[in-house]
Structures are given as structure tokens and as C-alpha cells.
Structure 1
Amino acid sequence: MVQENAPDFAQAVAKDLNKPKTEMYFAEIARRTSTRAPIVQRSLISAEKLEEWAKPAMVDVPDWQKPWAPKIYKNAKGVVLIIAPWNYPMTLSLQPLIGAIAAGCCAVLKPSEISPHYSALLATLTPRYLDSKAFRIVLGGVPETTKLLELQWDHIFYTGNSRVARIIATAAAKHLTPLTLELGGKCPVIVDPSTDIGIAAKRTLWGKAQNCGQVCVAPDYVLVPRSHQEAFVDALKAAYMQFFPDGCLASDSISRIVSPEHHSRLMKLLERTQGQVILGGKSEGLKMEMTVVKNVSANDSLMEGEIFGPILPIVPVDNLQDAIDFVRDRAHPLVLYAFTESAEFKDQILKGTLSGSLIFNDTFQQLAVNEIPLGGVGESGHGRQVLKYTFDEFSYERASIDLPKEAEPFIGMRYAPYTEENFKIMAAPAFMPIPE
């Protein structure tokens, strides 16, 4: 479906987000040089690996239990609901669907009403490629989603913000429905002044520019020792001129803000900030410049919640330990980025913080590795996805044994009438010596 209709999908997302064709193929459809998120590659890998993922797992047991043939089956959970967002509409709707199909589930997929062109195209094409008795696309907004949440599902997979996640979790609790919540939050960037400041700034700005900052793994703010704030700002300006020599508003290499409501929210954040806007800050229609704000304090408007747009606050700190403390004192982020060559400082961050992912010396590049999961911790979500991890979300492990009649001599002591002799045999493990 994606291969045969790739130009139509790219055009639909361009209408919704003004997303550049290069970014659409690079991040969502398919590309030659990597298996980062693109759906074509992940569909093929899932098909190739499915037999391996789904085969029963044999377990290591004592010799006397081996005749029981203990194993663990991977079973489909059943009928699942996938609620997808608008910002990466193809990846974040079809990636969970691939996992659900691989696991053997039936699925209802609710794409976002905020990406209407993509959602309408998906609803038109899906019945041509998938059995409508097993897979359905439901269009609509809040009323339709509310109705869906009144039904009992075997699993709900939601990608979006924490406010809606709480509504979904409340609805799921009525039926004790298991959940995958792929959320977001404020993903910090810590910059060690001993690192290559130019590379750190360039890679941070590139990550922030993806989809105009409208992505859950976007760098949300930067923590840098105040003695090196100006050097980092200068490096950001240089990277900006490299990426957008004629400015963002004239560039075809950046998306736009998805809606007037989101645009208004972002501009109001800028109006309220006590920081100093040193780059960007202007907008034209729904297009908005990449904007850098320095000297941002912990209680600034830009630090109240996830920005989800092209605004990058720089929060100066006294030292790197203060940066770690700043992150630790807040909700656990989906991703923590850090630019450093110091093995000691990397270890400090690893041991001193919690985050869904920890990425050193780049942004976004965790999405290029199929063998590691994407998922949050605490308020940034729970559950995992990407290939086998998505398959596992929609599966459950079903334990099994098959006791032959020849096992009777080994289990006969469990039967009544109970005797002291049998008690000593069965209770012996309770009196095993404990190592010092």
C-alpha cells in the first residue's frame, strides 16, 4: 500500500503540514541509507522476522521437569484500538498497525482529525489492501474517539500528549484494558563545554527543525554552563544560516505549524517569556521561524510544558552537576540528549537521571536503530514500540506444560494423606542454606 501510493501519501501530508518531500520519505516512507522509522523497511523486516518472534520459547528447567515440555507461546491479545497523532501520521499510525498484524490481532485505527488529508487517504486505501473484517479505519474527532473508548478492547495503543492519555487511561480502567502510552514531555539537551560546541549546536538545531519541532523526541530545551552560553548561541546562529540561508519563512526545507490553535499557543509562549529572543521569533501564516531564546529561567513560560514547536530555550546553569539536578527534579523525559566526550560524565548522567532513552552526541538518531525500543518512563509513557517491541506489546506470553503419566512417581508425594516423610522432601528447599 505504501509503495504503490507513496506520492499520494507525501502529497497528503504536505497539504496537512507542508512537510517537505525529502523529510517525508526520509522519516516516514522509505530511504536507502537507513531503516529509521520508514514504514516500507519496517514492514519487510517484520514479515521476515515474524516466524522467529512468534515461535514458542523453550525454557531451561531441571532435568526431572524436562518431560513436562514447558514452553511459552506468543498469543495475540485480540481486538485492539490504535489512536494515532498528526505529527508523523504515517509512522505513528502504521507502525503500531504492523505490530498488531504481526501479532495476529484485529485492529481499529483512529488517525488524527488534525491531519485530515492523510487520514482520508488512509481510510480510502486500507480496504483495498487489508481485510475490512479484521482491520478498520475510523475517522472523526473527539466524539468518535469517545465512543470508541466506551467499547471494551483487548489493548489500546495511544500516541499523543499526557492530558489525553489520562482520559484514555481512565476509560481503559473501566474494562481493565492494558495500555501502551507513547507520550512525550520536555526532552532536555545537556551540553558539556569541553565538547565540540559547533557539532552540538548543529545537531541540536537539526533535531529541533524536524517537522518544525512538532515531534515527541524533539530537543525541548538546552542546559549549558552559563560561561559557554554565548559560544553555543553563536554556533546555533551559524547552523541556522547553513540550514536556512534565506531564512525559515522562505525555506522549502521546513514544515509549518499544524493549525492556527497550535500557532497561537506558541506565539503566546514567546510573548510571555522573560528570556531574550536572539534568533527568529517571526511567523507568516502558519509558518514560523526557528527561534532561539537565551537566559531562560526554570519558571519561565517556555518551561511550563512541552513546547512542541520550533522554539529552543537555553537555560544556563552553573555547572554540569546542576544540569543533572535540573533534569532529575522534573518529570522523566522521553529522551535525554547529552553532548560530551567524557566517559565519566556519561556515567554520571546514566546513573543520575531517568529517561525513556539516553542519547549521546546527536538527536533523533536512536530512531535509526531497529534493535532498541522507543518508549517512555513515568509521565513520558509506558510500553515500548519498534518492530519486535511493537509485536510484544500486542502479544501476551501464554505458559504451557504437558505432564505425561510417567511423571507420577515425581509428583505422587503431593497427594493426601500427607505424611511426615513427604513433608520433609517437599519442604526441603525452605531450609536450604543461604550463602553469606
Structure 2
Amino acid sequence: MSLKYTTVDDIPQIHQDLRRAFRTGKTKSIAFRKQQLLNLCYLVEDNWERIKDAFFADLGRPREEAQLLELNGTLGELKEAYDNVEKWAAPEKAPFSWLWFAMSPTIRNESKGVVLLISPFNYPLYLLLCPLAGAIASGNAVLMKPSELSPAMAALLTELVPRYLDPELYQVVNGGIPETTKILELPFDHILYTGGGRVARVVLAAAARHLTPVTLELGGKSPCVIDPKCDVKTAAKRIMWGKLVNAGQLCLSPDYVLVPEWFQETFVEALKNAYYELHPIDPKVSGQVTRMVNESHAARVKALIDNTKGTIVFGGEVDMETKYAAPTLIKDVRGDDSLMSEELFAPFLPVVPVKDVDEAIEFINERDHPLNIYVFTNNSAFKEKVFSNTRSGTAAANDTILHVMAYGMPFGGVGGSGTGCTTGKYIFDTFTHKRCTTDSPGWLDPALMAARYTPYNKSAFRLLNALLKPTLPPRDGSMPLATKLSYGAVIALAGLAATWLACTGKLDLRLPLRFLNRL
């Protein structure tokens, strides 16, 4: 299936049609959203094998891997949105307060409008349809821009989306730089971009012209910190598996390993054994490792491995004709090595020797905040030390990759690895405007709020001010019991006064004022 690019001149009209369709109010219906989400689930379910075929056509991706990590994960996210859209979209009552309850403070979860999703090539289904589910659940119209680097998947989604979803509200636009540039000239109510930092800067600059909020999922160099007392065999196997998933073309891929220098040879041997256990047959022959997405990426990773000053333990081959990069383990890698210059996005695993865990932490903190930090240890203090003294989008101990699918958990970067969250309820909130509403009954004025009007009544104003202005604790942070009781008494009196007024239409302020005079 060939991918046909959208005509640049048609893009503004598509955008205008989406805005017009959103203004009809069709997406306000929870029943409508729920049906669209169910249709989206069946888009995946009905086309399970065709989707696997597209993965293989674009990346040579093993069908088993595609099903395990992308199809199952995608369908799980879509089903979660379907199951929870009514709860997520329901108005939220503010926490109870004696001062404000009468105004019925409520948060309305409202749609932002027309949102733009720009997805990458490496997980072209998961990283487009999961945010799409959040956007549908929150009642938005959506313009989708799949990666042109995964043309088979983009063509398949272009065919399927209008068959399963309302074409007035959900549109796919295909293209490269000219088409994306035209899209970014248009005003959106939110943009979600998944990809690299260079393009993210372009997206942010374009969004700034319209003051459009942006969520970024960017990746980065995610390190593995090794405690020599960990379960070495299990750690090595899980790291090697995580490294080779999708040939390392994954934002959560373990990018490099930090290990005490004296322990490097032991751990390298464990990694080597793990690789041969996972791949008893050369993966170039067995087809169990994905290829690089295109010639440009193959040339990039070839330059990285050709220029390393580390010692290649196994691998090192990049076949430009087939775009196959061999799984490669490299030891004795230093911080200024070519392999440490950028996110690898390749099946290369550098091992960086350090003095100890403190130096490992320092090494991580000298660089951009990664999307994830992996720690392998059986010691809770070791894990806590690494987690507490570093920053990353997420953090995982004793495994790789799988935590992104943990139910109910946020996923997103920090700093150079991104901003905002892109899963479950958190992506729903990303595409939702939390609108504060109140409704003040007329009886509040004679009860309490009349003190705000001029000319000021000193007695009434003093009571209102006592209720509104917080009293600070002593500078050492303590608060005497008597003060706590006084606060409680004032609030209780205010509540009783409001309740009494609601019943009788009158209010005597003398009792509260006599109490305040004693404070």
C-alpha cells in the first residue's frame, strides 16, 4: 500500500472543517465519545494482522514483538479510555470548605477544541492511537499527522480512520516537511508532538505564535545503574532484551550501562551470555531484530559505532544495503565517546565504567534529564539513593520498558526528555480544560459577604476578614493547640450562622464578634 501525501493547499480547509465540526457540539455527548472509543478499539481488533504486516513492511519488525509490546498495549489503553470516559468527564466537586461550600464550587471537564497529534515512526500505532483515545474521551476534534517514515502504517491508518471514526471530527494528514510546516502555521487548541528535540524546537516556535499549549514526548539517553550485588543474570537478560526491542528504536530503550569499574568485566560477560541466550541464531538470519527505519538513520548509527573509542565485545556491523544494524556490546566507553553524543536509537549498548554509585549519579546529572532511569539492585537503600538524587521522566527498578504499560500510572518526560503526560487519565487531563465554576446564592450577602460592599461596616468587615485571612503559625512551624481550636471555633460559628440564616433569613453578628474580641 503506497502512501499518498495530502495536498498542502488542502490542509487549511481540513483544519477549518474540523473547527466547524467541533463547534456543532457533537463531541459534548458522552455517549458519542464512548461509541467512537469503542469503534477505535475495533479498528485495532479487526485489523490485527494487517497492522502486523504494516510493522513488518516499515521496519522488518518481528510479528511476535509487535503483538506483545504494541498491539496489546495500544488496545489496553483504548479500552481503558472506553471504560472510564464517563467518570473522567464528570464534573468534580471542590473539597469541602465552610467558607465556600455555599457557592457550589465545581470543576467542569471541558474539551479544548481542535488538537494536533504528530507521531513518530518507531511506535506508530501506540503513539498515535493512545493520545487519540485521550483526545476523543475529552471531547476534542483531532488532526493526526503520522510519521512519513512509517509509510505502510500511515497508509493503513489513513484508510481505516474514516471507516471507524466520524470523518468530520477526526482527520489524518500525511506528508513530510512542507505539509508539516503548513499544519504548524495553523492555530490549534493543543499540540502533542512525539519525536526528537530538534523538531520539538520547531514545534514549540510555531505553537508560540498562537499561544498554543504543547505536550512533548522526546526520549533521551536512559541509563542503567548497576549494583554489583544485584541478580546479575536477570539484570543482564532484562537489559539486553530492552535494548534490542525494536532494534533500540524506542524512547525508553536502555541507552547505556553505568557499572563499577572493578565489576565491568563480570557484567559484560553476563550481558554477552544474555545476548546469546536470547539469540542462539544470528538475528540477521533469523529476522528477530528490527532494521533501521531508513538509509539516513542507518548512516547515522554507522558513524556512531565507527567512531567509538570503546572496545567492541561483539557486533559492530551496519549493513547499509539492508539497513541492518547488528546488536552490539561496547565496553570501556567514556563520557566523551561518540556513543554518548546523542540518543542512540540503535541496538548498541555502551558500558561506562565508573568508580561507584556516587560517580554514576554525577554522570547522569551532568547530562539532560533522561526519559527513564533504570536501577538494578536488591537493596532498597541503593535504589532510593539513585531515585532521590537524579531526575527523569520515570524510573524503574529491576526491569526495562514494561513500566510504560502499568495501569493508572503517568508517563512523560522532564526537561530535555519532554513535558506533560501521555497515558490513561493523564492524557485525558492533557486535552481537557479544567473550568472552575461557582454559583453564589443571594442569601450569602446578608449572611456574610455583604461586608465586602462600601460603605464598609466595621464589625461585619472584621468578621469576614477574620474568616478569609489565614493566620500563620510561629516561625518555627509549630501551632499551639489553642490556636487550632480557635480556628475550628471560628469556622464552626460561620457554618452555624450560615445555616441559621438559611432557615430564618436573619443573622445576629454579635455572638461571633464577641468571640473574635477574645482572640
Q: TM-score range by the shorter chain?
A: over 0.9
Task: Summarize deviations over 1:273-302 as a string: whole Å, max 9, x none.
Answer: 110111111133212211011000110111
Q: 1:214: which partner in 2?
A: 249
Task: Summarize deviations over 1:13-59 as a string: whole Å, max 9, x none.
Answer: 110000111111111212xxxxxxx2222212211111111111111
Q: Does 1:16 align with 2:58?
A: yes
Report if the CA contact (8 A) 2:449-2:464 is conserved: no
Q: 1:134: which partner in 2?
A: 169
Q: 1:25: which partner in 2?
A: 67
User: Counterparts of 1:251 and 1:324 in 2: how far apart (Å)?
Assistant: 38
66-75 vs 182-191, greater mean Cα deviation: 66-75
Given candidates 344, 368, 377, the residue that maps to 1:331 is 368
Q: 2:516: which partner in 1?
A: none
2:450 partner SS: helix
User: Counterparts of 1:97 and 1:164 in 2: how far apart (Å)?
Assistant: 21
Q: 2:453: which partner in 1?
A: 415
User: Counterparts of 2:325 and 2:238 in 1: how far apart (Å)?
Assistant: 20
User: Counterparts of 1:316 and 1:63 in 2: how far apart (Å)?
Assistant: 59
Q: For residue 430 of structure 1, report the CA deviation from its aligned partner.
A: 3.9
Q: How does 1:128-277 map to 2 (within 5 A)?
A: 128-277=163-312
The Cα RMSD (Å) is: 1.2
Report if the CA contact (8 A) 2:409-2:424 is conserved: no
User: Counterparts of 2:241 and 2:470 in 1: how far apart (Å)?
Assistant: 61
User: Counterparts of 2:328 and 2:117 in 1: how far apart (Å)?
Assistant: 34
Given candidates 463, 473, 476, the residue that maps to 1:434 is 473
Q: For residue 402 of structure 1, report the CA deviation from its aligned partner.
A: 0.9
Q: For residue 326 of structure 1, report the CA deviation from its aligned partner.
A: 0.8
Q: 1:292: which partner in 2?
A: 329
Q: 1:33: which partner in 2?
A: none
Paired AA for residue 65 in structure 2: E
User: Counterparts of 1:425 and 1:406 in 2: how far apart (Å)?
Assistant: 17
Q: For residue 386 of structure 1, report the CA deviation from its aligned partner.
A: 1.1
Structure (1 or 2) with the greater helix fraction: 2
Report if the CA contact (8 A) 1:223-1:316 is conserved: yes
1:2 partner SS: helix
User: Counterparts of 1:233 and 1:63 in 2: how far apart (Å)?
Assistant: 63
User: Counterparts of 1:99 and 1:257 in 2: how far apart (Å)?
Assistant: 30
Q: For residue 198 of structure 1, report the CA deviation from its aligned partner.
A: 1.3
Report if the CA contact (8 A) 1:370-1:386 is conserved: no
Q: For residue 346 of structure 1, report the CA deviation from its aligned partner.
A: 1.2
Q: For residue 147 of structure 1, report the CA deviation from its aligned partner.
A: 0.4
- Quickly say closer, same or farther: Cα 1:52–1:121, change in 2 above 3 A: same
1:405 partner SS: coil
Paired AA for residue 391 in structure 1: F
1:315 partner SS: strand
Given candidates 257, 280, 298, the residue that maps to 2:315 is 280
Q: For residue 251 of structure 1, report the CA deviation from its aligned partner.
A: 2.2
Paired AA for residue 205 in structure 1: M
- Quickly say closer, same or farther: Cα 1:427–1:66, change in 2 above 3 A: closer
Q: For residue 431 of structure 1, report the CA deviation from its aligned partner.
A: 7.1
Q: For residue 67 of structure 1, report the CA deviation from its aligned partner.
A: 2.4
User: Counterparts of 1:360 and 1:103 in 2: how far apart (Å)?
Assistant: 33
Paired AA for residue 21 in structure 1: R
Q: For residue 375 of structure 1, report the CA deviation from its aligned partner.
A: 0.3
Paired AA for residue 46 in structure 2: E
Paired AA for residue 369 in structure 1: A
Report if the CA contact (8 A) 1:223-1:314 is conserved: yes
Report if the CA contact (8 A) 1:249-1:283 is conserved: no
**Unaligned segments of structure 1, at least 5 residues:** 31-37
Task: Summarize deviations over 1:357-390 as a string: whole Å, max 9, x none.
Answer: 1100010121230211110011100000111111
Paired AA for residue 464 in structure 2: M
Q: Does 1:5 align with 2:43?
A: no
Q: 1:105: which partner in 2?
A: 140
1:75 partner SS: strand
Task: Summarize deviations over 1:206-232 as a string: whole Å, max 9, x none.
Answer: 000000000100000000001111111
Q: For residue 6 of structure 1, report the CA deviation from its aligned partner.
A: 1.3
User: Counterparts of 2:396 and 2:357 in 1: how far apart (Å)?
Assistant: 17
Q: 1:302: which partner in 2?
A: 339
User: Counterparts of 2:469 and 2:59 in 1: how far apart (Å)?
Assistant: 64
Q: For residue 63 of structure 1, report the CA deviation from its aligned partner.
A: 2.9
2:56 partner SS: helix
Structure of greater Rg: 2
User: Counterparts of 1:186 and 1:199 in 2: how far apart (Å)?
Assistant: 22
Q: For residue 433 of structure 1, report the CA deviation from its aligned partner.
A: 5.0
User: Counterparts of 1:400 and 1:153 in 2: how far apart (Å)?
Assistant: 25
239-248 vs 329-338, greater mean Cα deviation: 239-248
Report if the CA contact (8 A) 2:215-2:421 is conserved: yes
User: Counterparts of 1:424 and 1:281 in 2: how far apart (Å)?
Assistant: 78
Higher relative contact order (CA 8 A, sep 6+): 1
Q: How does 1:32-43 map to 2 (within 5 A)?
A: 38-43=73-78
Report if the CA contact (8 A) 2:305-2:316 is conserved: yes
Given candidates 399, 417, 420, the residue that maps to 2:436 is 399
Report if the CA contact (8 A) 1:248-1:288 is conserved: no
Q: How does 1:65-144 map to 2 (within 5 A)?
A: 65-144=100-179
Paired AA for residue 471 in structure 2: M
Task: Summarize deviations over 1:294-325 as a string: whole Å, max 9, x none.
Answer: 00011011111101111111100011111111
408-417 vs 272-281, greater mean Cα deviation: 408-417
TM-score by length of 1: 0.96
TM-score by length of 2: 0.81
Aligned residues: 429
User: Counterparts of 2:335 and 2:204 in 1: how far apart (Å)?
Assistant: 30
